[in-house]
A and B are shown apart, each in its own frame.
Chain A
Amino acid sequence: MPTSKFTPEQAVELAAAFSKHQVDYLFLGKSGAILLGYPSVTQDVDLFLPTNRANAERVVTAVTELGFVLEPEIVRKIIACADFVQLKNGPFDLDLVHAPDGIESYDAAKARSVLQDGFPVTNIRDIIASKRASGRQKDLLDLHLLEQFRVEYERRQTRPIETALDKALERPFPTSPS
């Protein structure tokens, strides 16, 4: 059972291990929202995975490399792409989610995802949809705050409309013929 929180160093190690083993994944849930800038606190890391046996086998390799001790039954469940696997025997709490509530498919979520400084993260709208669909008390309490965060987050992501002057200023300055 881990007794320490998920640290920035572990986040970098996780991303490196998953990249090394070519694991397809997205941060999900409150942990994903925190990476996007949601000012809150959580305990566990939620990863959204495609229902793909080869990818699941790579997950097993990667999390073992990170220090998780996996019982044979848990390995079997991960490779079978069980909807929800909660890993407790490792350096931090890690939830592997193959079928989160409220998101139609991994591929659709991946297409809408963002890369936050090297960390692949589920779109904030999908995170909210998932929490809304869960029906859990703690998730519903977060919804109002998450929606307000989304507005601020998306406002920041929206690039101002480029004017003709902006575009002209980006062009290389014409040099005089010699």
Chain B
Amino acid sequence: MNQDESDDEWKAQCRRQLERPTLDRIKYGFAWVHKPVLDDGASRAFDSMVDYRQWCHENLPSYLGYRLASTDHAYE
């Protein structure tokens, strides 16, 4: 499947989902999967989004995707 075919399939999937009632979107749109570190602590608060992003970057496993995408944005 090339990119155009993939995009067309995704758009068709979007159109089908738009036909579904909002509560069905919620029913099938939320799932709980344990995320190491993120789900292991109690509630937490950050005074600034910069603090939050930095905490994610420094503490969460990279495979969770919470780290910054490029070194231009990295806090290192």
Contacts and interface: CB of A to CB of B under 8 A. Distances in A.
B45 A116 contact: no
Contact of B30 (A5, A38, A73, A99): A5
A40 interface: yes
Contact of B53 (A11, A74, A134): A134
A39 interface: yes
A38 B23 contact: no
Interface in A88-122: 88-89, 92-93, 99-101, 116-117, 119
A80 B53 CA distance: 19
Contacts of B51: 83-84
Interface of chain A, main secondary structure: mixed
Contacts of A45: 30
A15 to B, nearest CB: 11
Interface string A27-40: 00001001101111
Interface in B18-52: 18, 20-35, 39-49, 51-52
B30 A7 contact: yes
B26 A8 contact: yes
B27 to A, nearest CB: 5
Which range holds the interface residue count of chain A?
A: 35 or more
A41 B31 contact: yes
Contact of A135 (B17, B25, B29, B70): B70
Given A34-B30, A86-B44, A117 B22 contact: yes
Given A2-B32, A11-B26, A42-B29, A99 B49 contact: yes
Contacts of B44: 85-86, 88
A175 interface: no
Interface of B: 7, 10-11, 13-18, 20-35, 39-49, 51-53, 56, 62, 64-70, 73
5 contacts: A8-B24, A117-B21, A138-B66, A145-B10, A149-B14
Query: Which 6 pairs of residues, A with B, have the shortest CB-CB distance?
Result: A138-B65, A77-B45, A34-B29, A39-B17, A8-B23, A6-B30
